[in-house]
Structure 1
Amino acid sequence: MGPRFDVVVQPNGYAWWYIDASSDDGAHGLTIIAFIGSVFSPYYKLSGRARPDNHCAINVSLSGPRAKAWAMTERGSHRVARDADSFAVGPSNMHWDGDTLVIAIDEISAPLPYRVRGTVRVSPEMIGTTAFQLDPAGRHRWHPVAPRARVEVEMAHPGIRWSGDGYFDSNFGDEPLEDGFDDWHWSRAHLSNDVAVLYEGRRRGGAPFDLALKFDRQGRWHDVVQPAPAALPRSGWLVKRATRADSGHDPRVIKTWIDAPFYARTALATRLFGEDVTAVHESLSLGRFRSPIVQSMLPYRMPRAFW
């Protein structure tokens, strides 16, 4: 069983597949997100969100010495093709061959145009078969496809090649993300034997939610008690960040991979469940995202191609 790119996405809805990875030496980071009904797209919002397949993108973000890159170009349905095992958006595509997700990237960055081109291979250690509801009505769902994976990165532009451990999940929804939540904080950490995933935040209206899980090397999961709250400094855009850590331990920001007006993705040095680990962490402020000022900024980083 693989990621299943042929899911039905209803009007107002969304689907995305998310991969993150860090190089073995800790110097480089990668995130790739493939969207149907791109949740942060100003074009999808202005369209009335009637046709999710007409608003698709493959977002690529690379960080590291002499290897920074960002691309997220939205394309319409005439440039999209997908079935159970593959998803193509314009010149970029991802394909599940039964064992490995192969991602062919061919994008142009924005607002400064430069080529982002290469191949990423994601080889899961295990495949998760359980999806989790993030709200009582089940309008927003999260599926950890491969909580632990091996990732190989070979980029022609920028010229970089590395391998490291990674993570692969997917999210699905039947309404806009900002209709369901005000904010959230998410993190994942590879422990010596398990993978810890921590979710928490506020639903729209202020009701809190949280989810804390461990996945073993066979993909089996169980609930765990959330570690103690831990403060983090705000991002450069002053997005509030919060996380969890073993009592008495103060997490440290190693590097902020993505710093946007409503979103931050960060590498943390922390301690969880008795182990010193590096965690990938994200904070999302949907209150910020709703701001007309932020909405007016989005097209500069998320252009839409009409060819």
Structure 2
Amino acid sequence: MSDCGRHAVTVIAFVGSVFSPYYAWSGRRDPENHVAINVALYSAGRPRWAMTERGRGALNRSGASFRVGPSSLRWDDAGGLTLDFNEVALPFPGAGWLPGRIRGTIRLVPRGVTGTVFDIDDKGAHRWWPIAPAAEIEVDLARGGPSWRGHGYLDSNWGVEPLETGFRRWDWARGRLADGRTAILYDASCRSGTRRELALCIGSDGTIEQRTLPVARTLGRGTWGVERFMHADAHGDARVVRALEDGPFYTRAIVESRIWGEPVTAMHETFSGDRFARPLVKAMLPFRMPRRSGRV
């Protein structure tokens, strides 16, 4: 994920896509037959979204690279991660534009790399690694929007069961603090009824300090009724600055809050496992996540 104020971008590489209805309907037996690179560009007035699922014939990966059809991620010898993408963007709700191609390059250079992996549920079935809490990013778009530079973030999640099996919901946020530090907050309600909280203050060198999670503040409900919470100091507040995604089970936004005595602008997401578990919701997903056969 990355942003520079007016622009933001998120990229997610999937093997056994957790949000894929096709993977769920297949019985989740072959994750490498359900792969995708999701690119979401949020430039003011011109959002772009692409997430085409492909089969194993379009997959090629190694320890340093990951290719799905026409798009690829690769690590270079200088320690940077480069995404080259060439995808068809689907209509964005409320944006009023037709499908079109997005093409370009995104390069992320971590400032520091952490070495700690966390359980985000109560039984170790879902794990999370905040690889690079702070990074520099360059977005160079050949088609589909403006080019820009900003600050970024890189992490990885993996698990041995569906998200909706492990979680009723979660709220997550990542924001920059003073002196190059990063705040990352996880507040997860597990399906078992327990709650899993993580509040991390991470230095630019990757050093992790665990802190107390601030108080949960409501951000109201999204258009589809998903209730959202952001955390803030006892005498602080939280508000949505810009909504990026607003769906039936997932929201993403840029929010303002006050954390550990500092004002913070953060990327925020809410996931509702209860909503995602509904068959009707999964039946809606192919409209935003088409599947393509073949190698391209």
Query: What band does the TM-score fall into relative to the shorter chain?
Result: over 0.9
1:207 equivalent in alignment to 2:188: no
1:243 equivalent in alignment to 2:230: yes
How far apart, in 1, do the equivalents of 2:240 and 2:120 lie?
Answer: 27
Note if contact 1:68-1:158 (Cα within 8 Å) is conserved in structure 2: no
Match of 1:191 among 150, 170, 177: 177
How far apart, in 1, do the equivalents of 2:272 and 2:137 lie?
Answer: 29
Partner of 2:84 in structure 1?
104
Q: Deviations over 1:249-281 (max 9, x none)?
A: 111111111111100011011111111121111
Note if contact 2:120-2:188 (Cα within 8 Å) is conserved in structure 1: no
- Which secondary structure state, in structure 2, belongs to the residue aligned with residue 233 of structure 1? strand
- Which secondary structure state, in structure 2, belongs to the residue aligned with residue 95 of structure 1? strand
Partner of 2:123 in structure 1?
137
Note if contact 1:262-1:288 (Cα within 8 Å) is conserved in structure 2: yes
How far apart, in 2, do the equivalents of 1:135 and 1:284 lie?
Answer: 14
How far apart, in 1, do the equivalents of 2:263 and 2:110 lie?
Answer: 23
Match of 2:52 among 65, 69, 73: 73
Partner of 1:113 in structure 2?
99
Amino acid at match of 1:21: S
- Cα distance, 1:159 vs. partner? 3.2
Amino acid at match of 1:41: S
Give the unaligned 5+ runs of structure 2: 92-97
How far apart, in 2, do the equivalents of 1:232 and 1:206 lie?
Answer: 23
Counting only pairs closer than 5 Å after superposition, residues 169-188 of structure 1 correspond to structure 2 as 169-188=155-174
How far apart, in 1, do the equivalents of 2:45 and 2:215 lie?
Answer: 37
- Which secondary structure state, in structure 2, belongs to the residue aligned with residue 214 of structure 1? strand
Q: CA RMSD in A?
A: 1.1
- Which secondary structure state, in structure 2, belongs to the residue aligned with residue 287 of structure 1? helix
Amino acid at match of 2:36: A
Partner of 1:9 in structure 2?
none
Deviates further, 244-253 or 139-148: 244-253
Partner of 2:209 in structure 1?
222
Counting only pairs closer than 5 Å after superposition, residues 1-307 of structure 1 correspond to structure 2 as 20-23=1-4, 26-98=5-77, 99-110=79-90, 112-193=98-179, 194-307=181-294
Q: Deviations over 1:87-114 (max 9, x none)?
A: 0011000001141100001101225421
- Which secondary structure state, in structure 2, belongs to the residue aligned with residue 293 of structure 1? helix
- Cα distance, 1:209 vs. partner? 1.3
Q: Deviations over 1:91-140 (max 9, x none)?
A: 00000114110000110122542101110000100011111112243111
How far apart, in 1, do the equivalents of 2:185 and 2:282 lie?
Answer: 29
Deviates further, 107-116 or 149-158: 107-116
Q: Deviations over 1:51-78 (max 9, x none)?
A: 1011000111111224310000000001
Note if contact 2:48-2:90 (Cα within 8 Å) is conserved in structure 1: no
Partner of 2:95 in structure 1?
none
How far apart, in 2, do the equivalents of 1:244 and 1:86 lie?
Answer: 36
Give the unaligned 5+ runs of structure 1: 1-19
- Cα distance, 1:154 vs. partner? 0.8
TM-score (norm 1): 0.91
How far apart, in 2, do the equivalents of 1:262 and 1:239 lie?
Answer: 7
Note if contact 1:67-1:160 (Cα within 8 Å) is conserved in structure 2: no
How far apart, in 2, do the equivalents of 1:70 and 1:117 lie?
Answer: 12
Greater than 4 Å deviation, 4+ residue runs: none
Matched pairs, number: 286
Deviates further, 63-72 or 116-125: 63-72
* Percent identity (aligned): 45
Note if contact 2:122-2:196 (Cα within 8 Å) is conserved in structure 1: no
Note if contact 2:172-2:270 (Cα within 8 Å) is conserved in structure 1: yes
